[in-house]
Chains A and B, each alone.
Chain A
């Protein structure tokens, strides 16, 4: 039954996170695009730029509401479904979340009200500042959540405290400057910019194809293409940085993405495509590109990248160290005061405490890791290989799409510079069809990052299986069904409203109703 709870909890988190992540990238990117458009409006005073700001702002608003609604779920879920995780790392992981609230959420949520309701109440400049603060807030929010997530991938600046049985901060600066977190932040944020750029590009292309709102569409495309080109170039460069960092901090993730079973002599080849086979521990029909992997992973031609089989063998060693650390921990905890702690236990824990998490991997098989058999240790080591096939493929889909976005935005950037945006209708059709692709790339990216970390919820520190709340399977099933139901209904409504707003376009709508309401207005005026 234990296993079921873990799987159900993971399923629930995956569903809610992937769903939340449908809205976040667009919010991050669109907030900036809208702010850029309004900046042009304030600088030039041309009303078409105000119309653009308001039109894309409506789409931003629909999307923002969904982002907020699903975001609250994410924050509460840590405590609801992952209570041991919350206890074990709340001392570190909670801080970025709280700072996210202080620094980012308050900013974007307070000023988003002014963005929608403040047009007639503020100066042009005042409103522009509010718009930029919304954009700033959305982007800060990504920064802090990725500092938190980066720590799960590369837990720095924290030590295990035997007295409180949890990880505690000892160097918060290291948590902030965690290279993995920084690389993830810029990669994810640029991916958000690309998402919004392709969205604006595609919707505008549709207007051009229909011959509607041509001026507005062309200007929007120019903004989207230039912004999108810069963003898609940086998304690839920064993604590569992310890959380089995993070779340092998450070797298993990198090897699994590559489906690299055996350590190859440096520089390793990049497997372009193939069919990874976990049982046989090999990749069938692999097409190799020599040297490329070595260059991506290590930035050199001489450094080796270890394969999965060798990493598993190393892990067995870590597990044995972890068992010793676990044993020392028990004597430390049994002591009633610091003076009573056996010195041997103290030294062992100082030496090998960092491997404690590896002993916890055995808790799936035995209650006391010290009683694990050799076979169980081998099994636990083998468990540290994440699902190779899904990682291999989602990664390749993400990268291929990333390359495509450069070509697409580059093409439209060129056309825009030559004032020939509507010269090739087939290209406009491609842009329309490309609208969903950034979402596919973003979701694949999430899967690579999070599935690639399994079986760890915090790399090398806490196994996912230990982190869950002790809930009933029925309870979990009930809430999973509840989320799926609500999310599906809302998704359908959201898509309909988006399409409706896009179909309606940026026209003013209030005038025709006025005559109908006139008697009521008079009555209200008299009442006052």
Chain B
């Protein structure tokens, strides 16, 4: 294998760091509206037919959307094995809670309408609602903890030890991040419902969604101020070797006040990301009120992307800082896969990602248009 030297190791690492961001954004933007719409299921839909309308807006596509998460997990495993190992075992109980939601969600979608009794459907509707809220909240709390630093350390043979507890994750700042995540996904779910549903359902979605959007904007700004004023970032303090072996023990790092702002100082253009992240939800909110469907969906999707990318931009090149001892922190330069693996995976991505995007677009085209409650009642298009 000599081909991999076509792209140097440090460039590949940055590419994979960007791809990680794209996968997270892909997940948040696509599966985000599934989670958000389900979180709003009981609020936007009162009757059984309305509930089915809401469910059918995401029914045919949520499965494909969720693959962004599965692919994200696989890609982290393949490209950032240490990040995968540390974060998944460190956030163990939080991951378990997400898993429970992800086990129950597919089942609820498929099982809900298999029986006629109201109590049966009611129960599954609650399951759908909760399994929309829980992952949205936890993902945000996790990001908050990543910004604060996570209490993990390595032994000499790189065996991982985690010194934290589940309740230790629930700090005020992390909870604020959880709320940012929840409100932004609820905004996005509402934007999707405005887009795919009509009548009362769309009206209620617009009402809840615009409130969520404004909250998302305010909470995001608040988290930003908190980071700038009161939260220390992490910084590598030894000379950086971007093509060195992936061993996080080879460097030193420190907690530095204002380190999360350093990239914005160095490249002021990056300010565009947080500014857009705070402004776009307002546009989404206005779009919802004015029923500008495309504008709303676009604005809320872009808002999510900007909010996620803001975190990445603040932290680069840190990926997962260690609060026990900063030198254990994982960075873009010392926690990736080998040069060969990164290259092979990039080739696979270049081949398959366009194909995936092409057929996904086609599927959305086939399914375009509003969900028709009459067709649902007549039993023409519902299969759930």
Could you give, for residues 165-179 of chain A, a 1 whenever the CB lies within 8 Å of some chain B CB and a 0 otherwise? 110111110000000
Q: Does A513 contact B (CB under 8 A)?
A: yes
Interface contact B86-A101, CB-CB below 8 Å: no
CB-CB under 8 A from A79, the residues of chain B are 73, 77, 84-85, 87-89, 95
Of the candidates A65, A83, A109, A114, which one forms a contact with B88 in the assembled complex, judged by CB atoms under 8 Å apart? A83
Q: Does B79 contact A (CB under 8 A)?
A: yes
Q: Does B11 contact A (CB under 8 A)?
A: no
CB-CB under 8 A from A61, the residues of chain B are 110, 383
How distant is B354 from chain A, measured CB to nearest CB, in Å? 11
Chain A residue at minimal CB-CB distance from B93: A475
Cα–Cα distance between A238 and B64 once the two chains are bound (Å):
33
Near B by CB (< 8 A), chain A positions 425-484 give 469-471, 475, 478-479, 482
How distant is B73 from chain A, measured CB to nearest CB, in Å? 5
Interface contact B81-A90, CB-CB below 8 Å: yes
Interface contact B341-A73, CB-CB below 8 Å: no
Interface contact A83-B1, CB-CB below 8 Å: no
Chain B CB count within 10 A is highest, among A95, A166, A470, for A95
Interface contact B60-A170, CB-CB below 8 Å: no
Q: Does B158 contact A (CB under 8 A)?
A: yes
CB-CB under 8 A from A73, the residues of chain B are 99, 102-103
CB-CB under 8 A from A163, the residues of chain B are 245, 247
Chain A CB count within 10 A is highest, among B89, B114, B340, for B89
Interface contact A83-B366, CB-CB below 8 Å: no
Of the candidates A78, A91, A102, A493, which one forms a contact with B338 in the assembled complex, judged by CB atoms under 8 Å apart? A91
Q: Does B106 contact A (CB under 8 A)?
A: yes
Of the candidates B63, B69, B74, B86, which one forms a contact with A113 in the assembled complex, judged by CB atoms under 8 Å apart? B63
Interface contact B161-A470, CB-CB below 8 Å: yes
Cα–Cα distance between A521 and B66 once the two chains are bound (Å):
33
Near A by CB (< 8 A), chain B positions 366-384 give 366-367, 373-374, 377-381, 383-384
Range for the number of chain B residues in contact with chain A = 35 or more
Of the candidates A70, A103, A164, which one forms a contact with B246 in the assembled complex, judged by CB atoms under 8 Å apart? A164
CB-CB under 8 A from B341, the residues of chain A are 91-92, 94-95, 168-169, 172
Interface contact A521-B374, CB-CB below 8 Å: yes
How distant is A148 from chain B, measured CB to nearest CB, in Å? 10
Interface contact A94-B79, CB-CB below 8 Å: yes
Which of A116-124, A180-188, A281-289 sits within the interface?
A116-124
CB-CB under 8 A from A93, the residues of chain B are 77
Cα–Cα distance between A64 and B76 once the two chains are bound (Å):
25
Chain B residue at minimal CB-CB distance from A114: B363
Could you give, for residues 203-246 of chain A, a 1 whenever the CB lies within 8 Å of some chain B CB and a 0 otherwise? 00000000000000000000000000000000000000000000
Cα–Cα distance between A528 and B246 once the two chains are bound (Å):
61
Cα–Cα distance between A509 and B89 once the two chains are bound (Å):
47
Q: Does B157 contact A (CB under 8 A)?
A: yes
Of the candidates B102, B159, B247, B384, which one forms a contact with A72 in the assembled complex, judged by CB atoms under 8 Å apart? B102
How distant is B238 from chain A, measured CB to nearest CB, in Å? 14
Chain B CB count within 10 A is highest, among A58, A164, A165, for A164
Cα–Cα distance between A201 and B211 once the two chains are bound (Å):
55
Interface contact B96-A486, CB-CB below 8 Å: no
Cα–Cα distance between A73 and B86 once the two chains are bound (Å):
17
Of the candidates A101, A117, A165, A493, which one forms a contact with B383 in the assembled complex, judged by CB atoms under 8 Å apart? A117
Interface contact A78-B77, CB-CB below 8 Å: yes
Near A by CB (< 8 A), chain B positions 67-113 give 67, 69-71, 73-79, 81-82, 84-89, 92-93, 95-96, 99-100, 102-107, 109-111
Interface contact A98-B75, CB-CB below 8 Å: yes
Cα–Cα distance between A65 and B360 once the two chains are bound (Å):
20
Chain A residue at minimal CB-CB distance from B110: A65
How distant is B274 from chain A, measured CB to nearest CB, in Å? 30
Interface contact A169-B344, CB-CB below 8 Å: yes
Near B by CB (< 8 A), chain A positions 6-62 give 58, 61-62
Chain A residue at minimal CB-CB distance from B109: A65
Interface contact B81-A94, CB-CB below 8 Å: yes
Interface contact A513-B92, CB-CB below 8 Å: no
Near B by CB (< 8 A), chain A positions 79-106 give 79-81, 83-84, 86-87, 90-95, 97-103, 105-106
Interface contact B86-A83, CB-CB below 8 Å: yes
Interface contact B106-A68, CB-CB below 8 Å: yes
Q: Does A525 contact B (CB under 8 A)?
A: yes
CB-CB under 8 A from A103, the residues of chain B are 348, 352
Q: Does A339 contact B (CB under 8 A)?
A: no
CB-CB under 8 A from A161, the residues of chain B are 245, 338
Q: Does B268 contact A (CB under 8 A)?
A: no
Q: Does A527 contact B (CB under 8 A)?
A: yes
Q: Does B345 contact A (CB under 8 A)?
A: yes
Chain A residue at minimal CB-CB distance from B97: A482
Cα–Cα distance between A84 and B82 once the two chains are bound (Å):
9
Interface contact B96-A513, CB-CB below 8 Å: no
Q: Does B162 contact A (CB under 8 A)?
A: yes
Q: Does A69 contact B (CB under 8 A)?
A: yes
How distant is B151 from chain A, measured CB to nearest CB, in Å? 13
Q: With A102-B349, A169-B340, A514-B378 in contact, is A76–B92 under 8 Å at CB?
A: no
| Total interface residues in chain A, CB < 8 Å | 87
Interface contact B348-A102, CB-CB below 8 Å: yes
CB-CB under 8 A from B82, the residues of chain A are 87, 90
Q: Does B61 contact A (CB under 8 A)?
A: yes
Cα–Cα distance between A228 and B60 once the two chains are bound (Å):
31
Interface contact B103-A86, CB-CB below 8 Å: no
Q: Does A66 contact B (CB under 8 A)?
A: yes
How distant is A416 from chain B, measured CB to nearest CB, in Å? 30
Q: Does B49 contact A (CB under 8 A)?
A: yes
Q: With A172-B340, A475-B92, A486-B103 in contact, is A524–B373 under 8 Å at CB?
A: yes
Q: Does B258 contact A (CB under 8 A)?
A: no
Near B by CB (< 8 A), chain A positions 320-354 give none
Cα–Cα distance between A475 and B166 once the two chains are bound (Å):
10
Interface contact A94-B337, CB-CB below 8 Å: yes
Chain A residue at minimal CB-CB distance from B340: A169
How distant is A338 from chain B, measured CB to nearest CB, in Å? 11
Could you give, for residues 43-54 of chain B, a 1 whenever the CB lies within 8 Å of some chain A CB and a 0 otherwise? 000000100000
CB-CB under 8 A from B62, the residues of chain A are 113
CB-CB under 8 A from B106, the residues of chain A are 65-66, 68-69
Interface contact A479-B96, CB-CB below 8 Å: yes
Cα–Cα distance between A436 and B212 once the two chains are bound (Å):
49
How distant is B222 from chain A, measured CB to nearest CB, in Å? 31
Cα–Cα distance between A178 and B67 once the two chains are bound (Å):
27
A-B contact pairs, 25 of them (CB 8 A): A65-B107, A72-B102, A80-B92, A84-B85, A84-B159, A90-B78, A91-B338, A94-B76, A95-B345, A98-B71, A98-B77, A101-B71, A101-B74, A116-B383, A117-B59, A117-B381, A120-B380, A163-B245, A168-B340, A168-B341, A469-B89, A470-B159, A471-B92, A486-B100, A524-B199
Interface residues of B (CB under 8 A from A): 1, 49, 56, 59-64, 66-67, 69-71, 73-79, 81-82, 84-89, 92-93, 95-96, 99-100, 102-107, 109-111, 114-115, 157-162, 198-199, 245-247, 337-338, 340-341, 344-345, 348-349, 352-353, 356, 359-360, 363, 366-367, 373-374, 377-381, 383-384
Additional A-B contact list (11), CB under 8 Å, known A79-B84, A79-B89: A72-B66, A79-B85, A87-B81, A99-B352, A102-B352, A107-B359, A117-B381, A165-B157, A172-B1, A494-B107, A521-B378
